[in-house]
Amino acid sequence: MAETTPLWYRRMTSRTSDERHRAATPLELFFDLCFVVAVAQAGSKLHHALSENHVGHGVLSYLAVFFAIWWAWMNFTWFASAYDTDDGVYRITTLVQIAGALIVAAGVPRAFDSADYGVVTFGYVLMRLAMIFQWLRAAHGDPEHRPVALRYALGVFLVQLGWVARLALPEKVFLPAFAFLVVCELAVPAWAERRNPTAWHPHHIAERYGLFTLIVLGESVLAATLAIQTALDSGQAGAGLFSLAGAGLVIVFSMWWIYFDKPAHALLTSQGTALRWGYGHYLVLASAAGVGAGLAVSVDYDAHQAHISGTVAGFATAVPVAVFLVSVWFLMVCPHLRGPVAAAMPVTACLVLATPFTGAPVHVIAGLLVVLVAVLVVDSRRTRLLA
């Protein structure tokens, strides 16, 4: 177990997967908070792109930038679960990754406004090079997992060469090149962990993902709040703005309730299920942040500051909410539940996608999620009584 006061350099050995009282460290929490700066930038630019009716470009740019943020965060999280030595070198290397995340955040406006991904790529590669150094430390200090660590270091290095080379390609091949490199990134852990996998901690991983989801949901509340403040300051806000704000809060509160309704650590029983669970959180986190952008778009529409129809404004919230429901259902509900209660979530997601045609999509979505939460609460109570 890592000591409270770190030495400057400690041999990096594997931590055990059944370590007692394993909790997120202050450095990990600081890491999350700094990464959310980049999430906030991406959500803000998505909000403005949707309000200006640049839907296709805004969504594609958001998904690309969010991948860089999420993938760097996820790789550090799983590595730290297995190899957090908390010595001076480890801390400095982690701070370098945080600096890379802030560079990514600084490059988000260029990526959205002019499709210039140079700054984002530089920040991303800096984060990934720091991870290569961490894996090389693990290879040196943990002979049992040395092949795994070296495969990680090699795989990450080769993909970073690809990201740098992609900057020299013409814009017309951006999407194919990006998709190819994403597949390569996703393949590295599956390849590296195929034999004698690293000893990540299920409770620690579940806590880390839960904490980051909390922060992202909080960022969604902040994004909607800032949009409401802007509308109030402009003097163009209508009487319905406050009810819209209330409905938005109900949506985010319900998303929190739904995500944390069932414990997650019990789902992480094998390397395959862990990879599926970890990868699937791209949709969970991207949609959670996207809800904040969607609510901000609805505020813009209500204040007559958006250049889109009411239907499009409704979809800006409905689509990320539906994606959130389906992804949480697939990752965290299906393994626990079967039958009508398990079907309630995808059914609600389908109903949410129909709300833009109701004339009050945010309010109807809020009502649907309240009903869904009530169904989950009743089912949980029934399960406890039968246990």
- Contacting residues for 299 by C-beta, under 8 A, at least 6 apart: 224, 227, 228, 230, 231, 241, 244, 245
- Provide the token pair at 78: 């799983």
Domain ranges in the chain are: 26-192, 202-386
Question: How far apart, in whole angstroms, are the C-alpha atoms of residue 81 and residue 181?
Answer: 25
Question: How high is the pLDDT of residue 1?
Answer: 46
List Cα–Cα distances, 28 to 36, 68, 77, 187, in angstroms: 13, 18, 8, 25
Q: At what angle do helices 361-386 and 340-354 cross, to 10 degrees?
A: 180
Strand spans (E) along the chain: none
How many Cα atoms sit within 13 Å of 204 on the Cβ side? 26
- Give per-residue pLDDT as tens, 40-68: 999 999 999 999 999 999 999 999 999 99
126 and 99 Cβ atoms separated by less than 8 Å? yes
Question: How far apart, in whole angstroms, are the C-alpha atoms of residue 384 and residue 271?
Answer: 30
Place of tokens 């949707």: 50
The structure's pTM equals: 0.92
- Give per-residue pLDDT as tens, 245-279: 899 999 999 999 999 988 787 788 777 888 889 99
- Contacting residues for 129 by C-beta, under 8 A, at least 6 apart: 160
Q: 3-state SS of the chain: helix, strand, coil percent to 5?
A: 80, 0, 20
**Closest C-alpha to 224, from 206, 240, 244:** 244
110 and 44 Cβ atoms separated by less than 8 Å? no
354 and 367 Cβ atoms separated by less than 8 Å? no
- The residue type at 160: Q
In angstroms, the first-to-last Cα distance of the chain is 36
Phi, psi at 9, each rounded to 5°? -145, 130
- Give per-residue pLDDT as tens, 86-144: 899 999 999 999 999 999 999 999 999 998 999 999 999 999 999 999 999 999 999 99
CA dihedral 264, 270, 274, 275 (to 10 degrees): -160
Q: Under CATH, what is the fold of the domain 202-386? A: I/LWEQ domain (1.20.1410)
Check pLDDT > 60 for residue 387: no
